[in-house]
Amino acid sequence: MPVIIQIPTALRQFADGQPEISAEGSTAGDVIAAFAERYPDIKRHLYDEYGALRSFINVFLGENNIKNLEGPATPVKDGDVLILVPAIAGGTGKSA
Q: Which is nearer to other proteins, 17 or 78 (CB)?
A: 17
Binding footprint of other proteins on the chain (CB under 8 A)? 8-11, 13-14, 41, 44-45, 55-56, 58, 60, 65, 85-96
Distance in Å, CB of 12 to other proteins, minimum:
8
**Bridge partners of residue 75, in order along the sequence:** 27
Distance of CA 39 to the CA centre of its chain: 12
Q: How far is the CB of 6 from other proteins (least distance, A)?
A: 11
Instruction: Please check whether residue 6 is in contact with residue 83, taking contact to mean a CB–CB distance below 8 angstroms.
Output: yes
- Least CB distance to other proteins at residue 34 (A): 21
Q: Are 21 and 15 in contact (CB under 8 A)?
A: yes
